Structure 1
Amino acid sequence: MAISAARRIAFDVLRRVAAEDAYAADLLYAELESGIKKADASLATELTLGVLRWRRLLDFLLQPHLKRPCEQLDLEVLLALRLGLYQLRYLDRVPQHAAINESVELVKRARKSSAAGMVNAVLRRATAEAKIGGSELEKLIPPRAATEERLGILYSHPTWLVARWIGSFGAKRTTALLEANNRPAPLTCAVLEEEASGRVAGSLRKSSFDVAPGRWLRGSVQFSGGNPGSSDAYLAGQINFQDEASQMVAHLVDARASQTILDACAAPGGKTILLARAAGPRGRVIAGDIHEHRLRAIQQQLIRAGTTNVRLVALDARRPLPFSRGFARVLIDAPCSGTGTLSRNPEIRWRLKPEDLNEAHRSQLAMLRNALAAADKSGQVVYSTCSLEPEENEYVVKKALEGAREWRAISARKALAPHLRDTAMAEKFFEDDGFFRTFPPEHGTDGFFTAVLARREDAD
């Protein structure tokens, strides 16, 4: 039996995600550029991200039908079982025989033919309760399981991560977050000329793209179907893939015409382009990254967008920055755990360990301290992450300020408001501590944190 292109791609991507610590979105993009049919591309994406999101629950439902723990199975066998059960549970449009038979063929293709019979038998036994849900599913969970354990199984997240979120957000908001993490992330683009967003959206509709205005920003559009990367607007540099919260971070920098700006952790480049637009032809953005291949990727984005006032520099923001003059604005969009992006990058939930947060904190603190030293006397420093964790957010800012008493956190509501569809919406993103935050189930975006810092004598 032939294996469909969609299942082959999903299996290969899942295997590489597990074996190489690669990111599914990047691997899928490379695979789907090969010109496969639209339906196959859609199914491959659904299968890959769906299996990654629901991995724990799938294993929980498979385990009663196995003679040994899931984690003791060969990787290829376990992936075939997960793919098969995911289709049986979540994809009504896929015939049962196709889900099972092609999973068996995937095992054979991976040279694990000795497990083919077991895969076939397990999936057939699991079919009867594949769609179990609600109270019936909860009955399968041990009755004495703690709340974090129960929610971790039901919503397929690690127990330790659920427990810390309950401590931070409470059980109700955490449940909403878990649900949001298991929904497909919105496909949003920034319109690089904000005032042209209506015209660009109209042009996309004429080209048969299903688009709507962004939820929050005047300069954003959301896609419900189609591949924006193939649109004339994208190819002409009019739009750029970027979540609305990420766009907001660039606006919070409050870049002004003719300023010199440092974007010290610039990849993948979306914020860099928005900053360069704000700085104008007489301004300049220095965009840095530690990885040369990521700088090359930014260069391609700059060329496509027609952005010429950016200089790319290889640098490690954890070390003192190699510049002799200060910057009017410094952005540290720090590498982080990414817990605000689990809908978009579901594999992160399975890779992250509690100790990673303390290690990230140390690196982020070094970056922020170096950024403070790189700003000129009237400059501002913006610190941002796509994390929900306090160790990477407010703890970093507060620790940095302990050793830099001349700096303080300031409100950035006025910088964001002009870019919103309704300026009054700005209040929805700032909490009592003055920091900017987005929360996926409440804002419909990735989860971001941002602090804007200025020297005390220049603060309002």
Structure 2
Amino acid sequence: MAERRRAAPVDAPRRAAWEVLKAVRVDDAYANLVLPAVVSHFELEVRDAAFTTELASGTLRWQGLYDAVLAACIDRSLARVEAKVLDALRLGTHQLLAMRVPTHAAISTTVDLVRAVANNDGAAGFANAVLRKVAAQDRDAWVVQVAPPGARHAEIAYSHPAWIVAELRRALGPAAQSSPSDTEAELAALLTADNEPPRVTLVARPGRASRDELPGEPTRYSPYGAVLESGRPQAVKAVAEGRAGVQDEGSQLVAVALARAELGPGPDRLWLDLCAGPGGKSALLAALGAERGATLVATERAPHRARLVAQALRGAPGVSGVVVADGRRPPLRPGSVDRVLVDAPCTGLGALRRRPEARWRRKPDDLLELVLLQRSLLAGAIDLVRPGGVVLYATCSPVLAETSGVVSSVLDTRTDVVLDDAVALLPDVPDCAGPLPGTVQLWPHRHGTDAMFMALLRRTD
């Protein structure tokens, strides 16, 4: 029997990226949460950590396109390729088609990785042959071949599941009030934006930090944010001390809109964040409320997320407490709250830039369960708010069932609530009209934010 070939050492950044893909596949992990731990485990320097992040996140974003390319290069179904080998082939394909990695380096390091994880010289030879076929054409040529014009073009060319493409197309239609051709052009812009890595955005919590303390360019619409050009957020003093944090500008605007809403006659003392985890919006709301003498209560159903909320609120003024409770049945007296934020659990399809694996994890069947939960949370929040008080319903999803569908359903079944104009609360934000009059819909391709939806509901007498 021939002596088995000794495996070459595996490049650490590529092995780290493979471990991220494995965690996403096997443990349903979120890549952005796994990456710091993997980088630490492999003791990667800053440059290697950046390479690993782009390799893992980019591969997850473009998995749909890469699988179509690999299917064209393999003489059997991808389902018959061992999962650990397929993950490595996807990593190699991303290096060949989307990164400035020399062809020989992308192929040889991937073959070494396959030999290590599969423990099989046959698998290594297979990977070598497949990647050489991938390298025979550039990305544009592959898109022309595997995603010709037709029903599946957007799905493959922009690497989004078909049902998500359909939902985003529907959401853009009423928001844009445009012709079908205009909607298709804007859909392409949105799908492109979904595949661009988001920049890190910081938020200064009023009364505790000023935007002048934050490095980077001020955000366009939020008066409290700044875009970090480079470096680690924790290296910023205000962030390390908890006086500032990392928060997408769209999420900042949710808190800003609720704080700016005018109330009917009565007090403005108690604010509630009903679905508070992981706590970014709670921290900004607490700071805004404290400036006018209000206190914030944060409720969160999951204990581990409640601990994250408590950590985000540590040292913040104007915090009454963090309560582990189901938002549908919070331990608060009906009619006792002045302002409520319902940042409802949702599909998260508005944040595909920062959670690329969500597009492959979410299924159409998830919608019904989420919509029923969203309706219950919004109805419960209306019960908690006093007459003249307001509820801001927000989702990090533009899907119509989760946005206008939920709001319309609640409005149709209650006579004690009206829909107010949330667009007027954000006068500096252009082209943000949502699917219902007065609602707000932010978009990655228009505003550079997550696709946050907002509706402001006022409790009547």
User: Do these two structures clear the TM 0.5 threshold for a shared fold by scoring above it?
Assistant: yes
Q: Distance in 2 between matches of 1:264 and 1:58?
A: 40
The equivalent of 2:308 in structure 1 is: 297
The equivalent of 1:248 in structure 2 is: 253
What one-letter code is carried by the residue in structure 1 that aligns with 2:323?
V
Cα offsets for 1:221-270 (capped at 9, x unmatched): 00121111222221122321100110000111127996211111101111
Residue 293 (structure 2) pairs with residue 285 (structure 1): no
Partner of 1:240, secondary structure, is strand
The equivalent of 2:130 in structure 1 is: 122
Count of residue correspondences: 434
5+ long unaligned stretches in structure 1: 205-210, 417-423
Cα offsets for 1:57-90 (capped at 9, x unmatched): 1111112221212232111000100101110111
Residue 201 (structure 2) pairs with residue 193 (structure 1): no
The equivalent of 1:62 in structure 2 is: 70
1:46-445 to 2 correspondences below 5 Å = 46-92=54-100, 94-113=101-120, 114-129=122-137, 131-133=138-140, 136-141=141-146, 146-147=150-151, 149-169=152-172, 170-193=183-206, 197-201=210-214, 204=215, 211-254=216-259, 259-280=269-290, 282-303=293-314, 306-307=316-317, 309-317=319-327, 319-325=328-334, 326-416=336-426, 424-426=427-429, 428-431=431-434, 433-445=437-449
Q: Distance in 2 between matches of 1:142 and 1:55?
A: 14
Q: Distance in 2 between matches of 1:162 and 1:216?
A: 28
| CA contact 2:337–2:386 (8 Å) conserved in 1 | yes
Distance 1:455 1:132, change over 3 A: closer
Q: Distance in 1 between matches of 2:11 and 2:238?
A: 32
Partner of 1:392, secondary structure, is coil
Distance 1:359 1:284, change over 3 A: same
Q: Distance in 1 between matches of 2:45 and 2:297?
A: 40
What one-letter code is carried by the residue in structure 2 that aligns with 1:251?
V
Q: Distance in 2 between matches of 1:156 and 1:138?
A: 11
What one-letter code is carried by the residue in structure 2 that aligns with 1:12?
E
Q: TM-score, normalised by structure 2?
A: 0.89
The equivalent of 1:44 in structure 2 is: 52
Higher relative helix content: 1
The equivalent of 1:208 in structure 2 is: none
| CA contact 2:286–2:316 (8 Å) conserved in 1 | no
Cα shift at 1:400: 0.8
Distance 1:327 1:212, change over 3 A: same
| CA contact 2:207–2:287 (8 Å) conserved in 1 | no
Distance 1:193 1:279, change over 3 A: closer
Q: TM-score, normalised by structure 1?
A: 0.89
Cα offsets for 1:336-360 (capped at 9, x unmatched): 0011111111111111212211221
What one-letter code is carried by the residue in structure 1 that aligns with 2:193?
A
| CA contact 1:337–1:360 (8 Å) conserved in 2 | yes
Could you say what the CA RMSD is over the residues aligned between the two structures, in angstroms?
Answer: 2.2
What one-letter code is carried by the residue in structure 2 that aligns with 1:220?
G
Partner of 2:401, secondary structure, is helix
5+ long unaligned stretches in structure 2: 1-7, 173-182, 262-266
| Identity over aligned pairs, percent | 35
